[in-house]
Amino acid sequence: MRLGLFIPCYMDQLYPRAAHATLRLLERLGHEVECPDTPACCGQPMSNSGHAALGEDFVDAFARRYAGYERVVSPSASCLLHLKEGLEARGHPLAHHAHELCEFLHDVERVEAFDAAFPHRVGLHQGCHGLRGLGLGRPSERMEPHFSKPERLLKRVRGLELVELDRPDECCGFGGSFAVFESDVSAAMGRDRVADHAGHGAEFITSTDMSCLMHLGGLAARSHPQIKVLHIAEILAGEV
C-alpha cells in the first residue's frame, strides 16, 4: 500500500539512521513509502508547555499533508499519540489510519519473522506514551494479562536476548520540556533507568521512542559508556 512516513523533527535532525531503518523496514514489506519533506513537528512541545494553541497548526498541517495515504506510520510513539489525539478531537478519519511502527508491524502487517540477527542482551525501554497512551503493551499498574507488542517483535529477532528489569515500565524522565525545566528530576529518573538496564547486563537499550533514548543515551554516555541506545527499527531492520 501507499504509506506516508512521519519522521518527527528531532529524528530528522539527530537520528537519520533510525529514520532510514524505518523506511527500509516498510519498503521491504513491499510498500510504497513517501515521506513529505516539511518541518515535521507534531506540536506536542507547545501543548505540553501549556501553549496548545501554538501547536494546533501542526496537527492541521499533518492532517493536510498525510490525508492522501492509505496509512501513516511513525517511529515515534509519543509524537504519534499527540497527533492522534489531535485528529480524534477534530473527528478526522486519519486518526484511525495512523500507526506507531510496532503497532503497524504487529497488528496490521502481522510480521512473524524479521530478517535480522542481533546476538546481544537488550533492555526494552517502554516509552510511556506508546505503552499507556497507544496501548502498545499492558502497563504494570493494570491487573490484566501481560503483553507487549515491541517485546513480541524483538523476540522474533535471531539471537536477541531481552533482559528483565526491576521496574519494567517506569518513566525515563524525558518528558519533553520537562527534561529542560525540571532537569534535575529528569536526570535522576533517567539515571535510575540506565542503572536498572545496566544492572541486568543490557548492552543496548531500545525503545519505540528516540526521544527517551536521546535522554537515556546522553546519560549513559557519562555513566555507562558501554551501553548504547538503538531505536527498535534499527534492530528489527537488521542493519546494526
Partner 1 sequence: MHPAAAREFLSDPARAAWHDQTLWMVRVKRDRMAARVPEWEQLREAASRIKEHTLSRLAEYLEEFSARAEANGVRVHWAADAEEHNRIVHGILAARGVTRMVKSKSMLTEECHLNPYLEARGIEVVDTDLGERIVQFKNEPPSHIVMPAIHLKRAEVGAVFHEHLGTPAGMEDAQELAEAARQHLRGHFLGAQAALTGVNFAIAETGGFVVCTNEGNADMGAHLAPVHIACMGIEKLIPKAEHLGVFLRLLARSATGQPSTVFSSHFLKPRPGRETHLVLVDNGRSRQLARADFRKSLACIRCAACFNTCPVYRRSGGHSYSWLISGPIGSILAPNVDKKAHSDMPFASTLCGSCTAVCPVKIDIHAQLLKWRQEVVAAGGSGRAKPLLMRLTAFVLRRPALYRLGGALMRLAGPLANLLRLDPWTRHRDLPPPPARTFHQSLRDKSKP
DSSP annotation of 109 reads S
- Of 3, 25, 26, 41, the residue at the interface with partner 1 (CB under 8 A) is 41
Q: Please state, in angstroms and rounded to a whole number, the distance separating the CA atoms of residues 115 and 113.
A: 7
DSSP 34-77: E---S----SHHHHHTT-HHHHHHHHHHHHHHHTTSSEEEES-H
17: contact with partner 1 by CB under 8 A: yes
**Can you read off the three cell numbers belonging to residue 24?**
527500509
DSSP 10-27: HHHHH-HHHHHHHHHHHH
What minimum distance in Å lies between the beta carbon of 49 and partner 1?
5
User: Which CB sits closer to partner 1, 42 or 98?
Assistant: 42
Q: 126-165: which residues touch partner 1 (CB under 8 A)?
A: 128-129, 132-133, 139-144
Look at the block and give the residue holding cell 525540571. Answer: 182
117: contact with partner 1 by CB under 8 A: no
- Of 6, 25, 47, 116, the residue at the interface with partner 1 (CB under 8 A) is 47
Stretch touching partner 1 by CB under 8 A, among 34-42, 95-103, 113-121, 231-239: 34-42
User: Whose CA is closest to 159, among 203, 107, 215?
Assistant: 203
- Of 162, 171, 205, 227, the residue at the interface with partner 1 (CB under 8 A) is 171
Q: Please state, in angstroms and rounded to a whole number, the distance separating the CA atoms of residues 98 and 103.
A: 10
CB 229 within 8 A of CB 147: no
Stretch touching partner 1 by CB under 8 A, among 54-62, 103-111, 117-125, 151-159: 54-62
95: contact with partner 1 by CB under 8 A: no
Q: 69-88: which residues touch partner 1 (CB under 8 A)?
A: none
Binding site residues, partner 1, CB under 8 A: 7, 9, 11-17, 19-20, 35, 37-39, 41, 45-52, 54-55, 57-58, 128-129, 132-133, 139-144, 167, 170-171, 173-176, 178-190, 192, 214-215, 217-219, 221-222
